[in-house]
Amino acid sequence: MPFAFPSRVYPIIDTLGDPARSHVELADEILQAGAPLVQLRLKDHPSGTFVEIARAVKAVADRRGARLIINDRADVAQLVDAAGVHLGQEDLPPAAARQILGPGKIIGVSTHSLAQVGAVARDGVADYIGFGPIYRTTSKERPDPVQGLEGLRAVRSRITLPIVAIGGITAATMPDVLAAGADAAALIAEIVRAADVTATVRALMGASAPAMECAPARLRGPRR
């Protein structure tokens, strides 16, 4: 069955280099708000540490009845039995990740241009695409060029795959992003730097719920 985002808010768990916060603590705070799908992002961590943290976050997600997507690493997603993987342009090709994970898992792919979007769509493996950055972002050391709302509208007009927009999105700009054609908005700093992470996620989900109810219905599940 085609994949559909279960919420228009797609939280990404990333400490953004803050040693005072742990990925597991952030996951618990996010999932307390009822987020049904989250992504774990760890940059520059040894594989052993990545697996250890991913297993702990997966346990929290299981306890809360949520699905976990692993950023970049299909092997880690397989090891911890995550719901799927989100691949960057420099990671494994989607077809290789599908060989590792099998037909029942979710595969998302980051894109930063119409050419990359077209390549993913023609490949026919990904369940959804990430597109951005929509705005200037501080969550990456070397961000790709800003694509803006016009870029998002152009992508929406060309593909039917679900789109999660990412890059500098805040509570204030999320309505514009959803109106421009994103099925969901990925947020990092807006969530993980909040004084009250749970309340922030709950508010974001509440604010986007009416838009979700009006969105075209899609069957929920990974691509088979």
Packing angle of the helix pair 114-123, 94-101 (nearest 10 deg):
40
pTM: predicted TM-score of the whole model, two decimal places: 0.92
Q: Is the pLDDT of residue 222 over 60?
A: no
How much is the pLDDT for 43?
87
Over residues 187-209, the mean pLDDT reads 95
Asked if residue 148 belongs to a domain, the reply is: yes
Strand 128-131 to strand 106-111: parallel, antiparallel, or no bridges (unpaired)?
parallel
Q: Is the pLDDT of residue 216 over 90?
A: no
Asked if residue 220 belongs to a domain, the reply is: no
pLDDT band at 224 (very low <50, low <70, confident <90, very high): very low
- Tokens at 131, concatenated: 């597109």
Asked if residue 194 belongs to a domain, the reply is: yes
CA distance 90 to 179: 30
Tally of domains within the chain:
1
What are the pLDDT digits (tens) for 124-135?
999 999 999 999
Asked if residue 142 belongs to a domain, the reply is: yes
pLDDT band at 44 (very low <50, low <70, confident <90, very high): confident
Asked if residue 13 belongs to a domain, the reply is: yes
Give residues with Cβ within 8 angstroms of 159, minimum separation 6. Answer: 117, 121, 129
Asked if residue 224 belongs to a domain, the reply is: no
Asked if residue 221 belongs to a domain, the reply is: no
Q: Is the pLDDT of residue 191 over 60?
A: yes
CA distance 50 to 44: 9
DSSP 217: P
What are the pLDDT digits (tens) for 146-186?
999 999 999 999 999 999 999 999 999 999 999 999 999 99
Domain encompassing residue 77 = 9-214
Q: Is the pLDDT of residue 212 over 60?
A: no
The CATH code of the domain that includes 84 is: 3.20.20.70
- When mean pLDDT is compared across 27-31, 122-126, 134-138, 218-222, the lowest value belongs to 218-222
How much is the pLDDT for 211?
47
What are the pLDDT digits (tens) for 64-92?
999 999 999 999 999 999 999 999 999 99
How much is the pLDDT for 97?
98
What are the pLDDT digits (tens) for 1-18?
799 999 999 999 999 989
How much is the pLDDT for 218?
38
Rg of the chain on CA atoms, in Å: 16
Known catalytic residues? 41, 110, 140
Helix, strand or coil for residue 176? helix
Asked if residue 210 belongs to a domain, the reply is: yes
Strand partners, 199: none
